Structure formats: C-alpha cells, structure tokens
Amino acid sequence: MKFGKEFTSQMVPEWQEAYMNYNYLKAVLKDVLNLRKRMQTVSPKASTPRGSALKRGVSLYRAFSGLTSRQRKNPNSPLARGDDEEVVLFNSVRESGSPSGARHQTMFLKSAEEGGECELVFFKRLDDEFNKVVGFYRKKVQEVVEEADELTRQMNALIALRVKVDNPNVRSQAGASEPRLAPLEILDHVKINVAADTPVSTLKGILMISDSDLSFSKAELRKAEERMTRAFAVFYRKLRLLKSYCFLNQLAFSKIMKKYDKITSRSASKSYLKMVDGSYLGSSDEVNGLIERVEATFIKHFANGNRRKGMKILRPTTKREKHRITFLLGSFFGCWLALIAAIIVVIHARDILNSPGRYQYMDNVVIIITFLPFNIIYRWSRFFLIRCAFHCICAPLYKVTLPDFFLADQLTSQVQSFREISFYICYYGWGDFRKRLNKCDQSTVHEYFFFTVAIIPFWFRSLQCLRRLIEERDPKHGYNSLRYLSTIVALTMRTIYERKEGVNWKIWAAITLGVATVMNTYWDIVEDWGLLQRNSKNPWLRDKLAIPNRGVYFVAMVLNVILRLGWMQTVLGFRETPFLHRTAIVAIFVSLEIIRRGIWNFFRLENEHLNNVGKYRAFKSVPLPFQHDDDQRI
C-alpha cells in the first residue's frame, strides 16, 4: 500500500482536516517535476542525441555510488556535501494572540534559479501545513493537560471516599508542618454526581431538590469508581490517538521531503527534518509522560497492581466479526423475496383483487408486511431499541441524545403502522377474523385511538426539542419544536377530513398540510442536511461533502420535495383506482415515506458526522463523579 493511502487510513476521521495534506503537497511536487522535465526538453544540454531509440530518465545519468557503503564518494556531489550547500533556512515569527505560538517560516535559497519559483511555492505550502499541524497539536496537548489536572482532582476525591467508606473511624490529621488539607478533608468541598439520568432526577432538578451530598455509602463508591474507570479509559485512548497523530505527521513530513529531494536532486530533507525534530511537534514529551502516568495510576488504583488486567481495560481488543450475521441476513432476505413472490402468485392465481372479499384480504396482507421486519434474535440490539423507545416515551424527562431523537424521527414516519396496530387489536380482539368480519370503523374507542396515535410520535419529538432548548439555550430547538406542533395540527385536520369529509375540512386540511410540508421540507434540506448554503465552496450545497458527485445531493433534495408531497394524496382526492384498492394505495405511499426517510437518514448522519469533524469532536464527553465547590459547571 502506498504511503498516501496508508496515511489516510490511519487518520482519526474527526481530525482529518488537521493532518498534513499529503496528497496536496504531492500534487505541488508533481508540478515541480513537470516543470523540470519541460526545462530539460527545451535545454540543449538535457536533450537526447538524435537517433537514440531509448529515452532514459535523468537518474540513469547520475554517478554510480557502488554496491556497498565502503565505496569512495565524490566530494563534489550534492549528497556528499551535505549541509555545505544550503538549500533552506528557517525562521520563527511570533504572532500576537496566536494559540500556536511562533509561526514557522522556511526561506528557500534557490528561488533565483530557473524553475525555482515552483519550488518556492512548495515550501510556502509546506510551511502552511506544518504550522497547521503544530498549532492543532499544541492546542490538543493543552486540552489533555487540563483534563489530566481535573482527573487528578477527581482521583484525590475518590481516594478520600475510599478511605472514608472502608475505614469510617479514620480522622484526618493536619499539623502545622503540613498546611495543605489531609485527604479526608477533600470530602468537605465536593459533591457527588453518580445518579443516573432518570425521570425522578429530572423532576428533582426542576423542583430544585438536590441529592448530590455524600452519604459515604459503598454504592456511591462503586458508581464513582465505574465513572472514573470509564473516564480513564477514554482519556487514555485520546492520548494514544494524539501520539499517533504526532507520529503520522512527522512521518508524512519525512516522506514528502524525501520525495522533494528525489525530484530536485537537492539535499534539503536533512536540515528540514532536523527543524521538525526540534519543533514542538517533535520535541514535546507531555503526551508520552501522561501515557506512562495514566497507565501506572490505573494499574495501581483500578487493577490492584495487575498490569495485564489494567491494560486489558485501557486497551480493549477488537471483537472478531461473526459471519453468521451476514449469513442470516442473506437467508432472511431470500425468504422475504420468496414470500413476496408467493403472495403475488396466490393473488394472481385466485384472482383475489376481483373477488368480493378482496377488502378483508388486503387488510390481512398488511399484517404480514408490518410484523415481518421485527428483529427478535439479538438481545443487545433489542434492549438498546427498548431503552431508546422508553426515553422517547418519557420525553422530556431524559437528556436527549442522538439515538433518542433519531429514533423519534423514525417513528414520525410510521404513523400508518401505528394506526394499523390499533386495527389489528380491534380486528382480532373484537372482530370475527375467521369470517373476516369486523366493526372497527363503527367503534368509538377505535376512532379516538386512530385519531390520537398519529400525533404521539410528533408530540414526543416536540418535547425532546423543548428539553434541548432548555439545556442548550439554542433558539433553533424552539423553532424545531414549533415545526412538529404544526405537523400535529396538519395531521389532526387531515384525520378529521378523512372521517367527516366536507369542503371546509378539506380546505383546512390542505392549508395546514401545505404549511407543514413547506416547513418540514425546508428543515430537512437546510437544517438536517446542511444544504442550500449560498456562500458555500460547493454552490448551494455545503463546504464539506462526503460524496464526490455533487449531483447526488441535488437529486436527493428534489426527491425529498416530491416524496414530501405524497402525504397530501388523501386531501387531493387520489383515494382509489379501478385496479388498486385504497389500502394498497395507502401502502404505496407509506412505502414512499419509508424511502424518503431512508434518504433522510443517510444525509442526516452525514451532516452529523461532518459537524463533528468540523469541531474536531472525536470523543464523547464523559461525566465525572465529583464536583468541587469552586467548579462553575452546571
């Protein structure tokens, strides 16, 4: 594998923009190479003699250095002279207010030579990349040093809590010769935050009821140790990635300079790499020191001195992929295709669409399609889904995370499925399903349930937006909440029209649906996808795109608008055709909504990822167990 591809594969995705742009510098060197080739073609000295059938490269005319290092070197060759022929000089310029400190500048001494302007451009671009890398690395090192100080304070509180819980009769002794606080006195200045995020804790926070005082119980100690274990593991992984970032960029500068020397037949790499080694990128040892101290601390305090056990937690091994998942997925997909084919054959063979009982039969076939996709095999996936669904139901009493609001958005596209579930309960609970007879449409309870079940997912999502508005103080979440409320109004008007009909209800349904459609379409494209940016590098898209073909984004936007209009079909009067039953038409538009939601999922997650990349967020924030009195965090 070439170094460029290997370099890209080992990058931290969220830090990709902060790495040295190796491919760009390679392209600049390619321009240098092309210019030198053109100069050799034009120059009589470099031209090939007439009649020569072979076009030899420039390297074939260099002096042969021998097969071993004992061969005598030509003292006049550029490689033998080493630093005698200076190619570059280095200078550092301090910039006021710059977080990266001094800015490095390279002075190219051969710019007056023919073609030297192109090499001068290369060194300017190289300086830009070097200063970018050093600035980012310095900033991240400062962050981990501050985080290490906080973990030190947390460890002091944890050790004091251990002493207090395991030895409740111990008293701290602070004499005149030791003015700083003894370990146990730290507990007088901290509060513990180990309670899980639950509806009860949220209600206590709203009512200003605090239960964060230490009770010195073993349960508190166990929860505090669990949080500290996780915090150390995440912090250690951050340090390792930062060390890898430093090493990969140093290697990239070494590779690009050696490539420069090979193209230009100069010897600038030695002095340049010496400068890199002496810079903050090459000489800073804070990360290595922190890695050693974190390992020693974790092994001592969380693994009882067992290095193998401690390192297993700090460096978890990658789980082996199991091929049975792929096998079962393929098997189920094949069974699904066979089932669909069998249904089509049965419908055609029995001419069910033209039979008197075709309405009842179509209702039963919706049953099969709805319940078939459920996954009941993998425990972790099922429990994760149940937990996220419970968080949606209890909104806004839980802190809203990406899986929670992402699932709530999926539920808003399953309105028809929820309505069908109410019909199944009525059909099999109170109807005569053996004769395919039911009176669900005449049931008041079913009618009310049919009316309210459609707005529940949008209500959950609106409450989640209100929770985020309160926590993050971002007005955008307030506007998003109003958007879901407008959708609730639109669904209510459409449901009333479906039940009562009439021109007035049709007008109100059309107006509310039109407003909700415009608001939702704008939010999908601009806010959720981050597109339609007027001043973007990519016209009417966004600066960063994961897909090289920009036309895909325009196609997705057009499809989103078209598919958004699909849910207005009941108001516009497209209800039943001679060859399709109304239930089949509803199923078609529900399928189109699923397709639209699938497209939305892809671009929504892409935008979320790019936002994390733009802010260099490679790690989740880990809650710490102790809060000191002088902390200003909420």
For residue 341, what is the enclosing H or E element? helix 323-350
Q: What pLDDT, on the 0 to 100 scale, is given for residue 568?
A: 64
| Residue 507: half-sphere exposure toward Cβ, Cα within 13 Å | 2
Assign 376 a pLDDT band (cuts: 50, 70, 90).
Answer: low
Whether the predicted pLDDT of 170 surpasses 60:
no
Please say if the pLDDT value at position 105 is more than 50. yes
Q: For the chain, give the longest Cα–Cα distance.
A: 104
Tokens 């700083």 map to which residue? Answer: 180
pLDDT band of 413, cuts 50, 70, 90: confident
> For a pLDDT cut of 70, what percent of the chain falls above it?
74
Q: What is the pLDDT of residues 580-608, one digit of tens each?
A: 666 777 778 888 888 999 999 999 999 98
CA 255 vs CA 78, 292, 408, 527: distances in Å: 20, 29, 49, 41
Q: Is the pLDDT of residue 374 over 70?
A: no
pLDDT of 172? 47
Chain mean position to CA 508: 41
Whose CA is closest to 119, among 260, 275, 23?
260
* pLDDT digits 0-9 by tens, 110-123: 878 887 888 889 99
* Rg (alpha carbons) of the chain, rounded to whole number: 34
Summarize pLDDT for 602-628 with one digit per residue, the tens: 999 999 888 877 676 777 778 888 888
Angle at 385 between CA 383 and CA 389, to 5 degrees: 115
Do 28 and 121 meet the contact criterion of CB atoms below 8 Å apart? Answer: yes
Output the pLDDT for position 613.
72
Task: Give the mean pLDDT of the chain.
Answer: 79
Is the pLDDT at 24 greater than 80? The verdict is: yes
Residue 453 · residue 492 · CB < 8 Å: no
Read off the amino acid at residue 16.
Q
What's residue 138's pLDDT?
94
**Is the pLDDT at 349 greater than 90, yes or no?**
no
CA dist., res. 343 & res. 474, Å (int): 51
Q: Which of 312-326, 440-454, 497-511, 532-546 has the highest mean pLDDT?
A: 532-546
- In this prediction, residue 475 has a pLDDT band, given cuts at 50, 70 and 90, of very high
In this prediction, residue 73 carries a pLDDT of 43
Which residues are within 8 A (CB) of 165 and not within 5 positions of it... i.e. 6 or more apart?
A: 216, 217, 218, 220, 221
Q: What is the DSSP letter of 115?
A: T
Question: Which DSSP category does 191 fall into?
Answer: E
Would you say residue 448 has pLDDT above 50? yes
Q: Amino acid identity of 622? A: V
How sure is the predictor about 231, in pLDDT bands with cuts at 50, 70 and 90?
very high
Three-state DSSP state, 102: strand
Q: Give the residue with greater pLDDT, 43 vs 573.
A: 43
Average pLDDT over residues 455-474: 91
Residue 29 has pLDDT above 50, yes or no: yes
Reported confidence tier of residue 14, pLDDT bands at 50, 70, 90: confident
Q: What is the pLDDT of residue 181?
A: 43
Torsion angle in degrees (nearest 10) through CA of 179, 180, 182, 183:
-170
H or E segment to which residue 29 belongs: helix 22-42
* Predicted confidence band of residue 375 (pLDDT cuts 50, 70, 90): low
Q: Lowest-pLDDT range, 67-71, 132-136, 204-208, 516-520?
A: 67-71
pLDDT at 178: 44
Specify the pairing of strand 626-628 against strand 88-94: unpaired
Q: What is the pLDDT of residue 101?
A: 63
More confident residue, 12 or 60: 12
Burial 595-616 (b: 16+ CB within 10 A, else e): ebbebbeebbebbeebeebeeb
pLDDT at residue number 598: 92
In the predicted model, is pLDDT for residue 382 greater than 50?
yes
- Tell me what the mean pLDDT of segment 236-265 comes to: 93
Find the mean pLDDT for residues 196-201. 66
**Is it the case that residue 37 has pLDDT exceeding 60?**
yes
Quick one: which of 17, 131, 7 has its CA closest to 609? Answer: 17
Residue 209 pLDDT > 80: no
Residues 6+ apart with CB under 8 A from 210: 204
Q: Is residue 154 classed exposed, middle or buried when 0-12, 13-18 and 19+ CB atoms within 10 A define those classes?
A: buried
Residue burial 379-394, b: 16+ Cβ < 10 Å; e: rest:
eeeeeeeeebeebbee
Q: How high is the pLDDT of residue 51?
A: 41
* pLDDT value of residue 206: 61
Predicted pLDDT at 521: 92
Mean pLDDT of 468-486: 92
Q: What is the mean pLDDT of residues 23-40?
A: 88
pLDDT at 74 over 70: no
Mean pLDDT of 48-70: 45
For the cut 90, the answer to whether the pLDDT of residue 493 exceeds it is no
> What is the pLDDT, as a whole number, of residue 150?
92
Q: Is the pLDDT of residue 129 over 90?
A: yes
pLDDT for residue 41 is more than 90: no
Which of 499 and 79 is assigned the larger pLDDT? Answer: 499
Residues 168-195: what's their mean pLDDT? Answer: 62
pLDDT band at 35 (very low <50, low <70, confident <90, very high): confident
Q: Which two tokens stand for residue 347?
A: 């419908």
Instruction: Report pLDDT for 352.
Output: 63
| The pLDDT value given to residue 88 | 83
Question: Which stretch of 121-125, 362-366, 493-497, 550-554 has the lowest confidence by average pLDDT?
Answer: 362-366
Q: Peptide bond preceding 396: is omega within 30 degrees of 0, i.e. cis?
A: yes
pTM: 0.69
> What pLDDT is attached to residue 195?
65
Judged against a pLDDT cut of 70, whether residue 306 lies above it is answered with: yes
- pLDDT band of 299, cuts 50, 70, 90: very high
Helices 415-430 and 456-472 cross at an angle (nearest 10°) of 140
Q: What is the mean pLDDT of residues 539-557?
A: 91
pLDDT exceeding 90 applies to what percent of the chain? Answer: 32
User: What is the average per-residue pLDDT within 324-333?
Assistant: 76
Tell me the two tokens of residue 171: 């008293």
Separation between Cα atoms, residue 366 and residue 422, nearest integer Å: 13
What separation, in Å, do the N-terminal and C-terminal C-alpha atoms of the chain show? 49
Q: Which two tokens stand for residue 42?
A: 């034009």
How confident is residue 419, by pLDDT bands cut at 50, 70 and 90?
A: confident
Q: Is 70 exceeded by the pLDDT of residue 368?
A: no
Decide if pLDDT at 552 tops 60. yes
pLDDT surpassing 90 at residue 241: yes
Please indicate whether residue 357 or residue 598 has the higher confidence score (pLDDT). 598
Cα distances (angstroms) measured from residue 46 to each of 56, 63, 323, 590 = 11, 16, 60, 71
Cα separation, 236 vs 297, in Å, equals 11
Q: Nearest Cα to 566, choosing from 592, 594, 599?
A: 592
Q: What is the pLDDT of residue 509?
A: 85
Q: Has residue 630 got a pLDDT over 80?
A: no
